[in-house]
Amino acid sequence: MQRVFVTDTKNRTLTPCRPKRARELLKQGKAAVFRRFPFTIILKHEVPDASPMPLRVKIDPGSKKTGLAIVNDISGEVVFAAEIEHRGQRVRDSLESRRAIRRSRRNRNTRYRKPRFMNRTRKKGWLPPSLESRIANVETWIRRLIKISPIQAISQELVRFDTQKMENPEISGVEYQQGTLAGYECREYLLEKWRRTCAYCGKKDVPLEIEHINPRSSGGSDRISNLTLSCRSCNEKKGNKPVEDFLKKKPEVLKKIKAQAKAPLKDAAAVNATRWALFGRLKSFGCPVEAGSGGLTKFNRIQRSLSKTHWADAACVGLSTPETLKTDGIGSLQIRAMGFGTRQICQTDKYGFPIRHRTGQKSFFGFQTGDMVKAFITKGKNAGIYSGRITVRASGIFHMPVEGRTRLELSHKYCKVIQKADGYRYAV
C-alpha cells in the first residue's frame, strides 16, 4: 500500500506511515498537511531518538518517462512509486522557435551585420538543454524525496543495453551467456528497436521470437544489426529463405526492415548520452549508488511476475532487488514536467510572425500561473467550491480548467493557495 511521508517539527524524516494512521493524526490535530504531492504530513511535536527504517530509491531512466520507486530492502515493500514525464522534445521545439524568431528579427533589422555564431564557449560536460532537462527532473525529485523520507541508498539503471555483450558474447565469460541472464540484453534491445511488433506482419501483443534477417545458413551473422523480431507463424514461413525472397511481394515492408535494421534508436541515444551525467549527480547526494543493466531489470521483473510499467522496472533495478516485492495497493503518482513558464516576450502566429508582446511580470496578487488553489465562490451562477491550477491575469480575473466546461473565470479574492507552482503537474 502506498505510504504517507512523515516529518517532525525539526524537519527530520520519519518512517512513512499508512494512510489510515495519517488520517488519524490529522483528525486528532497532531499533524498538518505539509505537501500535497507527494502527500506528506508534518507532526506538531518533536520525536526524540527517531530511528526510521532505511529506504532505497530506485530509478529507471527513460527518454520520455522515468520510473521512480522507493523500496524497503528488508521487507521488500514498495513504499512509493512515481513516473516522471519529461519535456525534452518541448524544450527542443521551444529553442527552435526562439532561434527562428531571432534570426527573422536580425534579418529584418540588422541584415548587414556580420554574423556571429561561433563566439560562445561551453563548459566541460555541457549537454543540450533537451537532455539537461531530463537530468534536472530526476535530480530534483531525488532531492525532494531525500528531504521527506529516510533514503539511505540509490539504485540506477545505468546501461539500457550492454553493447559489449551483444557484440562479443564471451567478453565476460561463457557462464554469463549460459546462465539465467542469457539473451536478456539482446532481446530487450530488439524489443525497443522494433517497438514490440512483428517486423513482417506488424502484429502486436503476441509472443515474439528473435529472427535472423539474413539466415545463418546463407552466411548471416549473429550481430545485432542482423536480428529482428517476428511472430511464430512468420518465423516458420520464412524459415531459411533470404529476406528478399520472403518479402518479394511486399517491397515496402522489405525497404522498411532494411532501413530499420541499421537505424539508431533516438530515445536510447538520449538515455545513453545522459546516463553518466545522472550517475555523477546522484553520487553528489552522499548516498551509495548502485548501478544495473536493463537486461537485469527485465529479468528481475519477470522473475517477480510484475507488469511492464516504468515504476515496476524501477523497483527491479540492480542486484539489491529483494526476492519478493510487495506491490499490493500501489498506485503510481504521474508527474509531468511543465517548466516555470516562458521568458519569451514576443508571441507569434502559426506562421512564426510576431503578433503581440507579453509583460515580463509573472506574479499577480500573490498568485502565479500553475499554482494549485481552492476557490470558494460565494455568489453568482458559479457559486461553489472548486480546486485546480490557475492561469493568472493582470486584471485579477484568473482562469481555472473545470470538468464539463472550457474554463472557469474567477476573481483572485476567492482563491486560496493549496500548493505553489513547482514546475510539475500531477495525477494519480
Per-residue pLDDT tens for 234-252? 999 998 888 888 998 888 9
Domain coverage including residue 223 = 163-266
Residue 197's φ and ψ, nearest 5 degrees, are -130, 155
Q: Is residue 368 part of a domain?
A: yes
Which domain-ending residue is among 266, 282, 299? Answer: 266
Ranges of residues in the chain whose predicted pLDDT is under 70: 117-118, 160-185, 263-265, 406
Which CATH number is 402's domain given? 2.30.30.30
228-to-94, 234, 385, 410 alpha-carbon distances in Å: 36, 12, 56, 56
Query: What's the domain count of the chain?
Result: 2
Maximum pairwise Cα distance, the chain: 81
pLDDT digits (tens, 9 = 90+) for 301-335: 999 999 989 999 999 999 999 999 999 889 899 99
Distance linking the first and last C-alpha atoms of the chain:
14
Q: Is residue 184 part of a domain?
A: yes
Measuring CA to CA, which residue among 92, 91, 46, 54 is closest to residue 75? 54
Which domain-ending residue is among 209, 241, 266? Answer: 266
CA triplet 275, 280, 282: central angle to 5 degrees? 95
pLDDT of residue 184: 58
pLDDT of residue 181: 47
- On the question of a cis peptide bond just before residue 38, with omega within 30 degrees of 0, the verdict is yes
Q: Is residue 221 part of a domain?
A: yes
Q: Read off the C-alpha cell for 275.
A: 546516463
Name the one residue in this structure whose C-alpha cell is 534477417.
Answer: 213
pLDDT of residue 161: 56
Which domain-ending residue is among 242, 266, 290? Answer: 266
pLDDT of residue 172: 45
Q: Is residue 111 part of a domain?
A: no
Q: Is residue 350 part of a domain?
A: no
Q: Is residue 216 part of a domain?
A: yes
Q: Read off the C-alpha cell for 139.
A: 535530480
Which CATH number is 217's domain given? 1.10.30
pTM of the complete model beyond 0.75: yes
Q: Is residue 195 part of a domain?
A: yes
Q: Is residue 292 part of a domain?
A: no
